[in-house]
Structure formats: structure tokens, C-alpha cells
Amino acid sequence: LLGFPISPKVLRAEDRDSKPASVVFHITTQPKHGYVVNLGRGNNSVVTFSQADIDDLHICYVLRNDENA
């Protein structure tokens, strides 16, 4: 599997009144050539994750083996 970490340099949201763990992203359209995983929760795809997950480098985009992207 080929995975690419999603770092805070690529994706960052802030709310002055909230901690990073409370800032949550929701994937509304699944990626065409792969899926998103939270390495802190295993290798299954996820549809939600927090800014804290990104800050801890737990979020990765994984290309499917059969895709030619």
C-alpha cells in the first residue's frame, strides 16, 4: 500500500474557542483513487477525523493497489 500523510501544512482549521480534538472534519465524498485512514485506529477507512489527529500525523491518504492515479 502507498500512503501519504496529511500534515497540518496541508490541512489546518482553527477555532479560538475549541481544542484541536474538537475541530472535526467530515468526508462527504469518498476519494476516487483511494481512502483515508486514521493510523491511531488501525487500517480501516474513516469518514471523520479531528485536527488533533492531523497534528499527530495519524491521518493518511492511501492509494488503492488497482488504481493508476
One-letter amino acid at 50 equals: S
pLDDT in tens, 8-64: 999 999 999 999 999 999 999 999 999 999 999 988 899 999 999 999 999 999 998
* Alpha-carbon distance values, 47 to 31, 57, 64, 69 (Å): 11, 16, 17, 21
Domain residue spans of the chain: 2-63
pLDDT digits (tens, 9 = 90+) for 13-27: 999 999 999 999 999
CB 8 within 8 A of CB 40: no
